[in-house]
Structure 1
Amino acid sequence: MAAAAGPEIERLIALLAKLPGLGPRSARRAALQLLKKREQLLIPLAAAMDETARKVVSCSVCAAPDTRDPCSICSDPHRDNGLICVVEEAGALWAMERSGAFRGKYHVMGGLLSALDGVGPEDLRVAELVGRARAGNQGSGDGGAVREVVLALPATVDGQTTAHYLAERLAGTGVEVTSLARGVPVGGDLDWLDDGTIVQALRARRPA
């Protein structure tokens, strides 16, 4: 079948279609919108993507993307060096930062353990996490003793498998290993919650 547009446009559509949440049809609509608003969208977007590709690096400490190394969080003297929050990807880090509730440091794993997808410990930043915990407790590393590692991983089979494995690996470091509480969300109605969330809420109940 002949292409509906020129090769440059088809390449743009094909690349957009690889983004999460965008299928072929959504990619075509997005490409059309970019072309219709070339001055307002397409050219600035292309410039921003070029600058991002040239300047953004992975932090050598936590692996978060930033334009500096160490990143702005790892180099912030006001953050608590004694707390490390472990997340799957940078998106979870950004979500934690939006809440404004966590003032420690982070560690981006780069994925989750998955036997189905062939992802093992050697494919993730497990050794780096254990090294940070041990080095911190020796008064070196990124600036102080690590007291606690918070596992903020997804409540999925792979997420829980990864959390269990990390807890075992961190057992000999002397740090406290905790995980995020799971249960009824603020403003949540029990009628709309799945069974797993209700079970977790019951297990994590506390005095009223």
Structure 2
Amino acid sequence: MSFSPLLQQLITALRCLPGVGPKSAQRMALHLLERERDSARHLANALHEAVEKIGECQVCHTLSETPVCDICADDTRDKQVMCVLESPVDLIAIEQTGGFRGVYFVLKGHLSPIDGIGPDDLGIGHLLERVANEGVKELILATNPNVEGEATAHFIAAQIRDANVRVSRIAHGVPVGGELEFVDGGTLAHALAGRRTLQRDIK
């Protein structure tokens, strides 16, 4: 079955969303047109306004409607502690915990020579400038625990090795409430490597 040009255009456009294949895009398009035309108009308007008005924070590079995002503009944040993340969604996840009061730097990705993504594409030069000029005492590398994320973290750590800055890596291990028998080997290995002492060393 062939769709009309406009319907096919809508289906193709919806496929840009993560996890949406041909069948899912088709169902979404038909649902919007058959039952949710008002919602479709609202979605179109909201998407257009967001694309036009949401940009990038000039300081940390997360998504922002203003040149400087609310977090970077907040004088109560601890500017001596900076957390480096791969994406704005990671920033949201950490903020929702309520346990971090430092500032951020969002790379918008990870190093990937195969895909042609290098340090300049991630703004690592700007990150190094902030570390040098803003009195950062600790840099928390919170890139994803995969090959690319680890490589990116090691690269950044190597770039500031000579600076008087503590570099730390977020712990990766067994989730709270998890049972060891259901945890994969890679996660267990990270948990063992990142173990911490609960009492003073016995002499």
- Shared fold by TM > 0.5? yes
The percentage of counterpart residues that share the same residue type is 41
Aligned-pair distance for 1:79? 1.2
Aligned-pair distance for 1:118? 2.4
Aligned residues: 197
Deviations 1:49-70 (A, max 9, x none): 1111121110111111111110
Separation (CA, whole Å) in 1 of partners of 2:181 and 2:48: 47
Separation (CA, whole Å) in 2 of partners of 1:31 and 1:200: 43
Aligned equivalent of 1:43:
41
Aligned equivalent of 1:178:
168
Q: Which amino acid aligns with 2:10?
A: L
CA RMSD of aligned residues (A): 1.3
Aligned equivalent of 1:120:
118
Q: Is the 8 A contact 1:130 1:173 kept in 2?
A: no
Deviations 1:29-50 (A, max 9, x none): 11122222111x2011111111
Separation (CA, whole Å) in 2 of partners of 1:131 and 1:187: 40
Point out where structure 1 has 5 or more consecutive residues left out of the alignment. Answer: 137-144
Separation (CA, whole Å) in 2 of partners of 1:33 and 1:42: 9
Aligned-pair distance for 1:171? 1.6
Aligned-pair distance for 1:206? 2.3
1:1-208 equivalences in 2 (<5 Å) = 3-4=2-3, 6-35=4-33, 36-39=35-38, 41-136=39-134, 145-208=135-198
Separation (CA, whole Å) in 1 of partners of 2:139 and 2:197: 25
Aligned-pair distance for 1:8? 1.9
The TM-score normalised by the length of structure 1 is 0.90
The TM-score normalised by the length of structure 2 is 0.92
